[in-house]
Structure 1
Amino acid sequence: MRILVVGGTGLIGAHVVEVLGEHGHAATTVARSARPGVDHVLDIGSAEVEQLRPLLAGHDGVVYAARTDEQRPLRKPIHPAFRRDMVDPVVRLFTAARAEGLTRGVVMGSYYTYFDRLHPQWRLTDRHTYIRCRVEQAREGRAAAGPSLPVAVLELPFVFGRAGDRLPNWAGPLDGWARSRAPLAAPPGGTAATSARHVAEVAVDALERASGKDIPVADENLTWHDMISRIAEAAGRGRPVHRLPAGAVRAAMRVTGVLQSLGGKESGLHPAHFAGLLLARLFVEPVSGRSLDAALRETFGARKSVR
């Protein structure tokens, strides 16, 4: 196969390119800025269908691995901005891919859509613009692709690992905290987690099978206590992690929400409702059972800058 990888030099995209090569497939990379390993420089966020078709011509499939910052506060209303960033580029990409006769695709999504299906009573799409747009991204991207171009959506939790100088966008603050002399504290609840390498392997398998499924990806389910403890150990600063009361988490999130509202801003995950997600055990079943120790060491084992 010949696969176009959008975001091909990012943390996940670079691993996808590597695994494609190991499986005997060819990869073409697209990114917003020129750097080693980029075949085509293009801002996918603003590219029109007619600009995308020449890039897609001659390919069998496409992987969308561009990154979105769900926590960055934006001026209200934020839904149009999130659609421009997350939904519209995917719709245009798969419209162009269908026109060029591609037969398979993968979108790197979020495990929040997994929990939206699992727990509709949580009303995640009503409460969080980011999750609403993730659902719209999958639905409208698949509609644009049509039945001849199945699109697998990988529902990703926390992703550990590195690719060159690329690290998870949230790793920097956690690394600084883990290495500091500040006490460590964790709320109740927890999250699923995986490695960038495993995500890439699942993506390439989905391409080879031309899967059109929603695919939750997880290696381990971790309480926040366990996750922070293992990050500190990987950073060489292992120490006790104290319990953070649920009431303190809710209060902090309420204050954050009020301050954002007073500034006329909002983030993709609404702070007042996000407290409930932080305190829940957002565990994915089944998990692969792979240990994340190596990916944790890659992410936090040495002092690294996040770009």
Structure 2
Amino acid sequence: MKVLIIGGTGLLGFEAAKLLIKDNHEVISFALPPKPDYLDIPNNMEIIYKNYLELTDEEILRYMNGCNSLVFAAGIDERVEGSPPIYDLYYKYNISPLERLLPLAKKANIKSAVILGSYFSYFDKIWGKLNLTKHHPYIKSRVDQMNYALSLASDAFSVSVLEIPYVFGIQPGRKPVYTILVNELKKMKKRTYWPKGGTAMVTTRQVGEAIVGAIKLNKSGTYPLGYYNMTWKEMLTIFHEALGVPDKKVVTIPTWIYKLFARSIQKSYKKRNIESGLNLVKFGDLTSKNQFISKDIAAIKLGVSDDDIKPAIIASVKLSNEALENKIKLENMRYK
């Protein structure tokens, strides 16, 4: 089997690539130049260091020739902020690429596609009263991405959308996504004040397994990925341990207090003409819920195996802290 991965040197795409190669499959990938010197690229992984968005359809089709499956492990997440309307930026990098790639994949006789999405689209389905797509441009982009991708599914072309939760694990040389959260925790010197609620989570290796499993299962649909579930208090206690303050208490605050703090941040954004992908005030209604996903819903059927989540959390937090303290030079998320 030959698999084309968009974003094959990224945190999650690279995990899938390693597993596919270990299973004797061929992998070809697009990645933004230059070649990362911190990655140990397998000899039989072909990487094209080009911005695929700048290639012609004919060029992309040539690379797709002979491939059995397409994995989209690129795009941008809620950390990206900008001038309003921010949805346009999410559309440009999360949806517009699929409007080119998926029809081209079908034209190239690729049999399946796996899209790495967000678990927010799952909660949009089960908690409709929160109107997540109305209030949060990022979540709307993920739901629109999912709906567009699935609209192209057919008997001859399966489309799987992995709805991915918090992911822990590191890629040496790459800045973890948790630097923002770690920085907020460090600002609170004596105690950490956080709302109730919690989240589903997986390790990087487990996401790689889910991608490979979705390719092999070859069945269209959405796959809400979850394996471990922790309350924020449980998760942040591990964060504190990793930061060397294991006795620091996590104090659960009412959602309305969280919203007051969020409102002040949003006011500062507005003054600077910046829009976030998440309406931070409205987000309080979601983050204060237990955003849990049982492994029985999708992870098990995709062949995801058990892993050790606590060391993965600790590694992510420690590397985030090193980045904040400028102890090590790390690469930020790049999308252009």
Superposition TM-score, scaled by structure 1 size: 0.91
Q: CA RMSD in A?
A: 2.3
Deviations 1:218-273 (A, max 9, x none): 12111111111112223443222331422321101112222323333311111221
Q: Give the letter for the 2:11 counterpart.
A: L
Which residue of the partner structure matches residue 13 of structure 1? 13
Residue of structure 1 in register with 2:73 after alignment: 65
Structure 1 residue runs of 5 or longer lacking an equivalent are none
Q: How many residues align?
A: 306
Question: Structure 1 residues 166, 147: CA separation in 2 closer, same or farther (over 3 Å shift)?
Answer: farther
Cα deviation, residue 206, structure 1: 0.8
Equivalent residues of 2:8, 2:17 under 8 A apart: yes
Deviation (angstroms), 1:284: 1.2
The answer for the alignment partner of 1:292 in structure 2 is: 309
Paired with 1:255 and 1:47, the residues of 2 have a C-alpha distance of 43
Q: Secondary structure at the match of 2:174?
A: coil
Rounded Cα–Cα distance in structure 2 between residues aligned with 1:220 and 1:291: 10
User: Which amino acid in the other structure matches residue 276 of structure 2?
Assistant: S
Asked if 2 retains the 8 angstrom alpha-carbon contact of 1:102 and 1:149, the reply is yes
Q: What is the rounded CA distance, in whole Å, between the counterparts of 1:251 and 1:48 in structure 2?
A: 48
* Correspondence 1:250 to 2:267: no
Q: Within 1, Cα distance between the matches of 2:184 and 2:134?
A: 33
What does 1:147-166 correspond to in 2, within 5 Å?
A: 147-166=155-174
Q: Residue 277 of structure 2 corresponds to which residue in structure 1?
A: 268
Report the Cα offset of residue 48 of structure 1. 4.4
Amino acid of the structure 2 residue aligned with 1:129: P
The CA distance in 1 between the partners of 2:204 and 2:67, in whole Å, is 24
Instruction: Tell me how far apart the structure 2 counterparts of residues 123 and 181 of structure 1 sit (CA, whole Å).
Output: 31
Q: Which residue of 2 aligns with 1:28?
A: 28
Q: Deviation at 1:159? A: 0.4
Name the amino acid aligned to 1:240. Answer: K
Q: CA deviation at 1:118?
A: 0.8
For residue 196 of structure 2, the aligned residue among 165, 170, 188 is: 188
Q: Give % identity.
A: 26
> Are residue 118 (structure 1) and residue 126 (structure 2) matched?
yes
Instruction: State the alpha-carbon separation in 2 of the partners of residues 63 and 145 from structure 1.
Output: 14
- Distance change >3 Å, CA 300–CA 262, structure 1 → 2: closer
Alignment of 1:217-232 (within 5 A): 217-232=225-240
Q: Residue in 2 aligned with 1:172? A: 179
**Aligned partners of 1:100 and 1:283: how far apart in 2?**
38
Paired residues of 1:11 and 1:167 also in contact (CA < 8 A): no
Contact 1:46 1:89 in 2 (8 A): no
**CA separation in 2, counterparts of 1:276 and 1:194?**
23
1:2 corresponds to which residue? 2
Residue 35 of structure 1 deviates from its aligned partner by: 1.1
The reply on whether 1:215 has 2:213 as its aligned counterpart is no
Distance, in Å, in 2 between the alignment partners of 1:79 and 1:60 is: 32
TM superposition shift of 1:22: 2.1
Match of 1:55 among 48, 63, 74: 63
Name the CA distance, whole Å, in 2 between partners of 1:83 and 1:100.
Answer: 24
* CA pair 236-285 structure 1, distance change in 2 beyond 3 A: same
8 Å CA contact 1:228–1:241 kept in 2: the answer is no
